[in-house]
Every structure is written in structure tokens, then in C-alpha cells.
Amino acid sequence: MKSSTIRVVLSHVVSSTWPIHQIDVNNVFRNDDLQEDVYIKQPPGFESSSPYLVCKYQKDLYGLKQALRSWFQKLSSTLHTFRFHSTKSDTSLFVQFMPSCTIFVLIYVDVIIITGSSRHEVNNLISKLSLCFALKDLDPLHYFLGIKVNCLKSGDLLRSQTKYINDLLRCMNML
């Protein structure tokens, strides 16, 4: 996902006062079965008598290259069944246009942002997704990709990296 995409979508959301939800998916990489065979060397402490034997993965594990791809495939095929399609400009932005409302879904690995013109339809989608995955609904957007999102009283959003800056300054003994 491009950072410009997030800003364009957020800008549109603020201008049209749409509801916005952030969702975390729990244990992304332990949900899926592997599509191909992946072998690893024997981990230290579990060596068997023959040094030529290797271990085979049965489930996806965090850090596997295949895990990310299979997770995205699983999520996007689920969204396709809900009649969403991904945009050409940014493949991790999914949209759905219905006569009554419009829904945008932004995906960054296991963090999903859902927004749309109808609060009812957004909640509907979240409940449909929670049937497929173990979700955690963090109602209003507050922390996304390490950037704090402050919702101001006027409905505007202020995105800031105060914690990141303070951590840096603390490392340099400037705080």
C-alpha cells in the first residue's frame, strides 16, 4: 500500500464524514495451510541421529515468504466473494460500489481499515469478516502503521509521530 493512497482515502473520509474502522487480524500466519512444500534444517536441540534428515512445515509460520502471499490470497479471495474488487492503482485497496453506498477497504498485512458511506453496511461487512477470521475491532482509527491518528473535535484528523520522535530523542539522551 502506498502512503499517498492512505492520505487520499483519509482526505475523502474526512471531507464526506464517513465512519472509519480499524481491524486487526489475530495470528495471521497460523491460519493457513501451506500451498507448497517447505523444508528447514534441523533446529538446534532437536537433531536426530541422521544429519541428512530435514523438517517439513505443516502450517504457515511467521517469517516465511510463502506465508505473506498465502494470507493475502486468502483475504482477497474472501473479499472477492463479498463482491469487492481491488483497484489497479493500488492492489491493496479494495472497493465496492452499491447503488446505496460505497465501501473502501485498505489492507496492510494484518491491519485492515474499513470505511464507507453507510455505517450499517460497514458494520455488516465487519461481522461477515469476523465469521471468516479472528478479528479485533479497534473502533475509531487511533494508531496505524506507527502513526498516531488524533480525531479532533471538528472531525479533522491529525497524524503525528510523537512517540517515534520521543523514542529517538531518548536514545540520544535529549529528553
Partner 1 sequence: MQSNIRLQKDVSSAMEDLTLYRSVVRTLQYIPITRPKLSFVVNKVCQFMHNLQDHHWKAVKRILRYLAHTPLHGLLIKHCSSSNILTFSDVDKGSDVDDRKSTTAYCVYFGSNLVSWSSHKQHVVSHSSTEAEYRSIVVVLTKVLWLQSLLHELHISTSQP
Which residues bind to partner 1, rule: CB under 8 A? 3-5, 7-12, 14-15, 17, 87-90, 95, 97, 102, 104, 146-148, 150, 154-162, 164-166, 168-169, 171-172, 174-175
CB of 128 to partner 1, least distance (A): 22
CB of 68 to partner 1, least distance (A): 21
CB of 66 to partner 1, least distance (A): 28
CB of 167 to partner 1, least distance (A): 8
| Residues in CB range of 65: below 8 A, 6 or more apart | none
Q: Is residue 105 within 8 Å of 93, Cβ to Cβ?
A: yes
- Residue 91 or 127 with smaller CB distance to partner 1: 91
Nearest alpha carbon to residue 108 among 59, 157, 141, 152: 141
- Residue 40 or 175 with smaller CB distance to partner 1: 175
| Strand stretches in 12-142, DSSP E | 20-25, 39-40, 55-56, 85-86, 93-97, 102-108, 111-116, 135-138
